[in-house]
Chain A
């Protein structure tokens, strides 16, 4: 079974600064996807960024980028130029891409609460 660990229950960042959220995972699979989801206080979960395990290039979406280290099983999220609207719970998630386990089941980490100070 896969596990996802987020070791930082809470983080804070000054507006306009950069913050990095950590995520490690454990799997014996070679093909999988990794995601970062954001859950604002309104509770609707939205996808921030995703990474395919076989792609070495780190994914980037505007101010959000990841540092994917497959050998270390690490998948951190960097938020640049932090904005007040970035304040939320952030969840790291794993999904198998193995053909015999194809599906949409996500395994989530425990989450990191990000606070943005004005």
Chain B
């Protein structure tokens, strides 16, 4: 089985622009979660989608949004980029929401905002 894939792997954007990151979960997985990883704040939960519905949302401003498609692929969007949005964005997929199921992480998208 192919693992979790994230595109693009690297991205450089300018302040004020917007960006869309994509995550393709493992085939058959219906839950996708997103995390932001920075040296200062560590790993922080952004949101989780299950069957196209947002189940949980972390403490991030409304500039951060996401969605999930019927094939379970997920996208996250950050509008009006700020320098502090520079981070590694990780997505993780799981068979379902909750329970004992393992979450599998993708390689991440490294976003640099200049």
Chain A residues with CB under 8 Å of chain B are 33, 37, 42-47, 50, 52, 91, 97, 102-111
Contacts and interface: CB of A to CB of B under 8 A. Distances in A.
Given A104-B33, A107-B45, A46 B98 contact: no
Contacts, number: 58
A45 B90 contact: yes
Interface string B98-110: 1110111111100
Interface residues of B, number: 27
A108 B100 contact: no
A103 B97 CA distance: 5
A43 B108 contact: yes
A91 B43 contact: yes
Interface string B19-48: 000000000000101010000001111001
